[in-house]
Amino acid sequence: MLALTSVWTTVLLAAAVALGPLATDMYLPALPALGEAMAVGTDQVQLTLSVYMAGFALAQLLCGPLADRFGRKPVMIAGFVLFAGASLGCALATNIETLTLCRFLQALGGSTGPVLGRAAIRDIYAPRDAARIMALLASIMALAPAIAPTLGGLMLDTLGWASIFLALAGYALVTTVVVAFGIPEPMKAEYRQPLRLGSLWHNYRSIASDISFLGYTLTNALVFSGLFAFLSGSSFVLIDFLEVSPRHFGLFFAFMVAGYITGNLTAMRLSHRLVPDQLLLRGLGIAAAGGSLMAGLAMAEVFNVWAVIIPQAIFMTGVGMVLPQTMAGALANFPRMAGSASALFGFVQMTVAACVGALVGHLHTGTSLVMASIIAIAALAALVVYLLLVQRFPAPGFEPTAEA
């Protein structure tokens, strides 16, 4: 077993957390092909993405309290085994209804990675240190979406869409072994919570009534929904509208990931000189600028790949600065309920993202305008929530110099 504070523990946690995003990013190039293979429209294919996010959101409300009672590792391992089985079901699906159901089950298992990865970081580190470690974890995780769409596009071209889900099942099984034998249980025994309905209700009510938790969580959810708007619409915009081949889709997607990594690394470097409040303001400003630029170009009918990719890379630079700070800030006040707090945080994040993703699919007109407009609105809304809630009600242990 590795030491909890070892950098390799962070790497292994990142590999576990990446399972959920991989289930989205790897099959993005296959969305148009799935519609053709199953003879359904864009909205029904896109529903497999939104249903995944909805399942992801709901499952977190259960896996967080379970982890607070039984520990992080047992729940994470059980989730990954479920994910592997559901991925196999996706590969064997012959109609959109079966695929959608298996995607929902896949989400139930995959949700354990992000929820319990965040909780484990909070178990191991103090709030300010946790923000830096989450930025490092996010940078490592960003390698997955940088590689996944390209790999998914190659597999689609050579082996067909089912091979993507078979690869996800294999990754889940490997991750199960890694977590089981490579990472110690991070949760302190004295922090275990009783698994009673009254206790769960009390814990969630206590967390949801914390105004600083709401501020960080809503800011995160809105800026994340801008990212998910791109995930929901990018394959239809780039592949169907702008005629990018599935094989090359991931290469353009990598520009977005490069922006995200840049934001993560910038946040890590500046965290020694700036308080999280200052990092959040800068990150949200960059995200709003990128989203507004994309929307402005779309309104001006500038329709080409770079009019989408460059603004999205700018947006993602801001997202890379914002997400680690909001994650750590939301959990800062709950060392004894980190699993439940992470679960409620993730539920809000994924619920908002699922609604936005469904909106992109429903309103899609064949160009980039709808996707770009929603990204811009999400970024600006996140900035407004930050100004109204986070700046006025920062988490005390996370923003020790906020009043100064």
User: From CA 94, how far away is CA 26, in angstroms rounded?
Assistant: 19
Give the model's pLDDT for residue 200: 77
Residue 194 structure tokens: 């009783």
Which amino acid is present at 303? F
The torsion region of residue 3 among left (phi > 0), alpha (psi -120 to 50) and beta comes to: beta
Residue 339, pLDDT score:
73
pLDDT digits (tens, 9 = 90+) for 301-334: 999 999 999 999 999 999 999 998 998 899 888 8
Q: Which of 15-24, 152-161, 317-326, 351-360 has the lowest mean pLDDT?
A: 15-24
Q: What is the pLDDT of residue 290?
A: 98
Please give the mean pLDDT across all residues of the chain: 87
Most confidently modeled range among 65-69, 125-129, 336-340? 65-69
CB-based contact 378:226 (threshold 8 Å) = yes
Pick the range with the lowest mean pLDDT from 82-91, 135-144, 260-269: 135-144
Res. 385: pLDDT tops 70 = yes
Whether residue 402 is predicted with pLDDT greater than 50 in this model: the reply is no
Q: What is the pLDDT of residue 172?
A: 94
Fold annotation for 7-185+195-390 = Growth Hormone; Chain: A; (1.20.1250)
Which long-range contacts link 6-10 to residues 24+ away (Cβ below 8 Å)? 9/124, 9/183, 9/184, 10/121, 10/133, 10/136, 10/137, 10/140
User: Which residue has better confidence, 404 or 272?
Assistant: 272
Boundaries of every domain in the chain: 7-185+195-390
Question: Is residue 205 very low, low, confident or very high in pLDDT (cuts 50, 70, 90)?
Answer: very high
With a pLDDT cut of 70, the percent of the chain lying above it is 93
| Tens of pLDDT, residues 123-143 | 888 776 777 777 766 666 666
Residue whose C-alpha is closest to residue 294's, from 363, 222, 238, 355: 238
What pLDDT shows up at residue 404? Answer: 36
**153 has a pLDDT exceeding 90:** no
